[in-house]
A = this chain, B = another copy of it.
Amino acid sequence: MSTEVSSGLQALEGDVFDINCPSRGVLEHVTSRWGVLVLAALGEREMRFGELHRRIGGVSQKMLAQTLRALATDGFVDRTVIPAAPPQVSYRLTETGDQVAAHVVGLVGWIERHLPEILAARDVEPATAAG
C-alpha cells in the first residue's frame, strides 16, 4: 500500500494503481457514469435537485440522489436544505469539490471540443494493425 505507516503516522499519498488503495474508491465515485456529469453541472453553478435532474439528460432520480450522496460523503458536494413549503434542497461544490470539478470540467470540455476528430478517427480506424 501507498498509505504506509511511517513513524506512527499514516496516509501520505494515494496510489490508484494499487488495488487496495482507498483512492480507487474516490476515483470511481468521481469518474462514475453520473458522478462526472454531476460535478460538471455543479461546476457551472449551484443547483437544486430538480435542476440537476433536468440538466443531466437520462439520469434517474434514484441515481442522482445516490450519486449526490456519494459525492457528499467524499466531501465534494455540500447539501443545503431550505425548509420551505415544497422542500428545497440545494447542492453546491465545496472547496475541494471545486478543485476536482475543475479537472473534470477540463476533461469533459476537451472531449466536447474534440468530438468531431474522435468520431472521424473511428471511421478511418486502420484495422488496429495486423494481428
Please give the residue numbers on chain A whose beta carbons come within 8 Å of chain B beta carbons, in ascending order: 2-3, 11-23, 26-28, 30-33, 36-37, 40-41, 55-58, 69, 72-75, 79-81, 96, 99-100, 103-104, 106-108, 110-119, 121-122, 125, 128-131
Given contacts A116-B11, A117-B96, A121-B75, contact A56 B111 (CB under 8 A): no
Q: For A13, give its contact among B33, B106, B113, B129 (CB under 8 Å).
A: B113
Which residues on the B side are within 8 Å of A31 (C-beta)? 31-33, 36, 107
**Are A103 and B106 in contact, CB atoms less than 8 angstroms apart?**
yes
Q: How far is the CB of A69 from chain B (nearest CB, A)?
A: 7
Given contacts A103-B110, A107-B107, A129-B81, contact A115 B73 (CB under 8 A): no
**Are A130 and B96 in contact, CB atoms less than 8 angstroms apart?**
no
**Are A16 and B40 in contact, CB atoms less than 8 angstroms apart?**
yes
